[in-house]
A = this chain, B = another copy of it.
Amino acid sequence: MMAEHTVKAFDEDITRLRGLIAEMGGLAELAVQQAMQALVTGDEALAAEVVARDKKLDALEMEVDAMAVRVLALRAPMADDLREIIAALKIASVIERIGDYAKNIAKRAPNIEGRNRFEPLTLLPAMAELGAEMVHDVLTAYAARDPITAREVIERDRKVDAFYDSIFRNLVSYMVENPATISSAAELLFVARNLERIGDQATNVGEVVHFMVLGTYPTDIER
């Protein structure tokens, strides 16, 4: 058993790690929202801001990694505490990837031509909102150590997948009917795919939260 002052120091470390992850989550959620706004409105300055701010997420991931390694080395935690540190490592890398998807979406903003008359753009915001909500809710589940909400988020991923399939079919039909807009529609195919991957990543976080709290990965969910 750890001595009392070690336990206190460990608790402080965990609190700091959780704070870093909450900061990462907030940045990732904002990145998804602003990337979509830049895409829909064509605001290139906002798109550039999203791309530039992604470096902050990369730096925070490295900070989580460094801190987790230090805690493992200094305190050699066991059982629940060890799972907590492993979970922080995994969740940080997943959030960093969500930031990458948002950055990819923002980078496509300047490539949409004639966006005011480009109907397919209207298909994506609802899908993006669903994805951003999953990210938000699964990080709330992480903060609250709540495996029930984590599972609920995992189950929600099916809706994002169904959204993606429908948007894919829609975009391809649109391309066939409007060959002049193929290049812009191809950009939106990738945006839809990035949003679908954001849902997958929220699902991954949900699985890690389940593992962190209960020690097992959820296995009986249809995906």
- For the complex, count residues of A whose C-beta is within 8 A of B: 29
Given contacts A175-B175, A179-B179, A186-B186, contact A79 B86 (CB under 8 A): no
Chain A binding site: helix, strand, loop or mixed by DSSP? helix
* A118 within 8 Å of B (CB atoms): no
* A30 within 8 Å of B (CB atoms): no
Given contacts A93-B93, A190-B193, contact A82 B69 (CB under 8 A): yes
| Stretch of A13-21, A35-43, A70-78 contacting B (4+ beta carbons < 8 Å) | A70-78
Q: Nearest B residue to A83 by beta-carbon distance? A: B69
Query: Chain B residues near A93 (CB, 8 Å)?
Result: 90, 93
In the bound complex, what is the Cα–Cα distance between A40 and B68 (angstroms)? 44
| Residue among A171, A175, A189, A193 having the largest count of chain B Cβ atoms under 10 Å | A175
* A144 within 8 Å of B (CB atoms): no
* A65 within 8 Å of B (CB atoms): yes
Q: 26 A-B residue contacts at CB 8 Å?
A: A65-B86, A68-B86, A69-B86, A72-B72, A72-B76, A72-B82, A72-B86, A73-B78, A73-B79, A73-B82, A76-B76, A86-B89, A89-B89, A90-B93, A171-B186, A172-B182, A175-B175, A176-B182, A176-B183, A179-B179, A182-B182, A186-B186, A186-B189, A189-B190, A190-B193, A193-B193
